[in-house]
């Protein structure tokens, strides 16, 4: 549903004036009146979340210190509530040091929007140099397991069904500088396989300097690029098949990873955002091998034919044509890039400038990012977590001490005005956007069960933050938009159908969302398809493209509910 034209026109002619006006009790770009506090309210202080990330910095400018900060939102015990996992750093020497007292932290939601530290009881207090997290049921026993990617050995924690975890090697052998990872079933055998992005071959003895000769963090080009890793799941035990799959010869500096059926052939592909190198689009060949088609498909470089510093990634349908587009965050003085999917045989087109996500992102370095229908108007908005990797200007309201204050940047919110045309409107989310920090991980999920999507933000050398979506409660003169949340289950696998494509039809409007498969930066969010329905009180039908190739239709239903759709119980298309 397009946003209100008068407000959009004001934005085009008045730039940031729209955001100010809309946050001061006038109509915003959704037609919803938003009081001064905006779309989100920070609830960290009253939520019980007290995690503060430590980079372990000793002034040596080791590269992992500025790359970490992942977060995860997931239901650890199948009680319907989302729990939190936060990744911590460690003091680095040539080898990572596991310090007593410095560890990853796990928070269980014990009442709506209130969390308690259950790190010790859960067994998830990993003391390595934490980068990111990926969640997936690796043994098809009905509960969610957790992979921690580290600078150092990655670690797999297997869930016993009650939210308590035990470490298991299970054949996952990555030991270098891992970044983002994702579970997905690439061979359609029912078991979740694993893709691990690997950054660079980091040498702690390699010094780097800024233009004034001062010590500074190195860029990826200072170190040799490396290949990523693919692990095949054989009934809960993983085997490294990177060579057999054809990945071993393609090196880069991977930061963002997602898995999705990008060419709609029923098989899961992999897209990798590389930092300073060409991106990879690993097209699934249906025989256990992959071919990189990023250049051919138009998603390896930007519109000027240049590689960019890829960080966070999203695969989502931004323009409502039922095709998955790609969004990638980048370094400051580059633009965040939106590649529009033109359809099978045509590929993608860099449409960043045309669609409004480019210019506003140039001053910032984007990392974590989510695509969510925050205002329930049937199209996807974008939130971006920013934070520099190089010293910059000191911002007026920064709360970090030196030298970290010089790396802090504000976050961004882009509102979808319909058909994928975005408007930067961070003033509408001032509590999320105004405070400059060194933000990295970002995940979205319905934390309080009210149907709209809240945010978990991870920061370097700062506190993790929770933001409640309060847009729908703003003004009784404007009715709350309706919603639907869809979970897709496979009875044989006993788990979420990672990779499923879900299409909801309301009258003539069809909306596409996907289940799981990785996104953002070093982060994980729930494997649930969330739909904003505008003022539609009912959906007419739901179509699920299951990851094993089956396509089923399910009957319509009333809005404002969560529904579980089970493989094999719909009507075959």
Q: Which of 247, 244, 422 is nearest to 325 (CA)?
A: 422
Kindly report, residue by residue over 291-336, the tens digit of the pLDDT: 999 999 999 999 999 999 999 999 999 999 999 999 999 999 999 9
Half-sphere exposure of 403 (CA within 13 A, CB side): 17
Q: What is the pLDDT of residues 492-518, one digit of tens each?
A: 999 999 999 999 999 999 999 999 989
| Confidence at 32, pLDDT banded by 50, 70, 90 | very low
Beta strands at 114-117 and 105-111: parallel, antiparallel or unpaired: antiparallel
Q: Is residue 299 within 8 Å of residue 243, measured between CB atoms?
A: no
pLDDT band at 38 (very low <50, low <70, confident <90, very high): confident
Kind and range of the H or E run holding 539: strand 538-545
Judged on CB neighbours under 10 Å (0-12, 13-18, 19+), 526 is: buried
CA 295, CA 133: separation in Å to the nearest integer?
29
What order of strands is seen across the sheet that includes strand 40-42? Answer: 40-42, 465-469, 454-459, 439-445
HEC string of 204-220?
Answer: CCCCCECCCCCECCCCH
Q: Where are the beta strands (DSSP E) in 280-420?
A: 280-284, 290-292, 313-316, 325-328, 337-341, 348-350, 366-372, 381-386, 412-416
φ, ψ for residue 101, nearest 5 deg? 90, -15
240 CB-near residues (< 8 Å, 6+ apart) = 171, 173, 229, 230, 231
The whole-number average pLDDT for the span 535-544 is 96
pLDDT confidence bin for 344, thresholds 50/70/90: confident
Give the integer Cα–Cα distance in Å for 318 and 280.
Answer: 21
Tokens 């990295």 sit at which residue?
A: 440
Q: How confident is the model at residue 378 (pLDDT cuts 50, 70, 90)?
A: very high
Place of tokens 């694993």: 194
**Neighbour-count burial of 235, counting CB atoms closer than 10 A to its CB (0-12 exposed, 13-18 middle, 19+ buried):** exposed
Q: Percent of the chain at pLDDT above 70?
A: 91
Rounded to whole angstroms, the Cα distance separating 299 from 341 reads 10
CA–CA gap between residue 112 and residue 141 (Å, rounded):
27
325, 343 Cβ separation under 8 angstroms: no
Can you tell me the distance from the alpha carbon of 52 to that of 29, in angstroms, rounded to the nearest whole number?
Answer: 35
CA distance 501 to 480: 26
**Residue 24: pLDDT over 70:** no
Confidence of residue 274 (pLDDT cuts 50, 70, 90): very high
* Mean pLDDT across 252-278: 97
pTM: 0.92
């Amino acid at each position: 549903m397009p946003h209100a034209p008068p407000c959009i026109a004001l934005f085009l002619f008045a730039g940031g004036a729209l955001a100010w006006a809309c946050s001061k009790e006038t109509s915003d770009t959704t037609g919803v009146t938003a009081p001064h506090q905006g779309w989100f309210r920070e609830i960290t202080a009253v939520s019980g979340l007290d995690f503060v990330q430590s980079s372990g910095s000793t002034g040596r400018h080791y590269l992992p210190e500025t790359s970490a900060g992942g977060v995860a939102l997931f239901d650890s015990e199948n009680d319907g509530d989302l729990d939190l996992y936060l990744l911590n750093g460690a003091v680095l020497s040539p080898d990572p040091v596991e310090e007593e007292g410095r560890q990853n932290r796990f928070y269980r939601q014990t009442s709506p929007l209130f969390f308690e530290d259950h790190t010790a009881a859960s067994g998830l207090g990993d003391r390595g140099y934490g980068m990111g997290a990926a969640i997936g049921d690796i043994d098809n026993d009905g509960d969610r397991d957790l992979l921690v990617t580290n600078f150092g050995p990655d670690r797999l924690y297997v869930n016993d069904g009650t939210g308590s975890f035990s470490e298991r090697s299970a054949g996952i052998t990555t030991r270098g500088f891992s970044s983002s990872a994702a579970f997905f079933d690439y061979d359609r055998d029912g078991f979740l396989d694993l893709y691990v992005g690997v950054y660079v071959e980091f040498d702690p003895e390699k010094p780097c300097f800024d233009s004034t000769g001062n010590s500074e963090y190195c860029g990826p080009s200072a170190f040799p690029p490396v290949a990523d890793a693919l692990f095949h799941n054989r009934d809960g035990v993983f085997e490294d098949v990177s060579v057999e799959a054809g990945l071993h010869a393609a090196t880069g500096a991977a930061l963002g990873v997602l898995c999705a059926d990008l060419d709609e052939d029923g098989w899961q592909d992999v897209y990798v955002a590389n930092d300073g190198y060409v991106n990879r689009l690993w097209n699934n060949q249906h025989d256990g091998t992959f071919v990189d088609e990023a250049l051919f498909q138009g998603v390896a470089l930007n519109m000027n034919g240049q590689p960019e510093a890829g960080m966070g990634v999203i695969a989502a349908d931004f323009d409502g044509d039922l095709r998955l587009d790609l969004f990638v965050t980048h370094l400051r003085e580059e633009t965040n890039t939106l590649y529009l999917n033109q359809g099978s045989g045509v590929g993608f087109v860099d449409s960043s400038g045309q669609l409004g996500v480019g210019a506003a992102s140039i001053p910032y370095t984007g990392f974590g990012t989510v695509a969510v229908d925050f205002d329930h108007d049937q199209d996807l908005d974008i939130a971006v977590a920013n934070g520099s990797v190089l010293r910059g200007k000191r911002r007026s309201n920064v709360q970090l001490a030196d030298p970290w204050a010089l790396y802090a940047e504000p976050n961004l919110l882009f509102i979808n005005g319909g058909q994928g045309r975005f408007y930067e409107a961070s003033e509408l989310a001032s509590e999320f956007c105004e405070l400059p920090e060194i933000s990295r991980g970002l995940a979205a999920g319905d934390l309080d069960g009210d149907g709209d999507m809240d945010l978990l933000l991870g920061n370097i050398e700062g506190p993790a933050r929770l933001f409640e979506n309060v847009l729908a409660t703003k003004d009784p003169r404007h009715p709350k938009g309706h919603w639907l949340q869809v979970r897709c289950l496979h009875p044989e696998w006993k788990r979420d159908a990672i990779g499923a494509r879900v299409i909801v039809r309301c009258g003539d409007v069809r909306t596409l969302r996907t289940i799981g498969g990785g996104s953002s930066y070093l982060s994980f969010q729930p494997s649930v398809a969330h739909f904003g329905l505008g003022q539609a009180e009912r959906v007419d039908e739901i179509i699920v493209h299951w990851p094993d190739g089956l396509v089923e239709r399910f009957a319509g239903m009333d809005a404002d509910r969560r529904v579980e759709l089970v493989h094999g119980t719909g009507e075959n298309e």
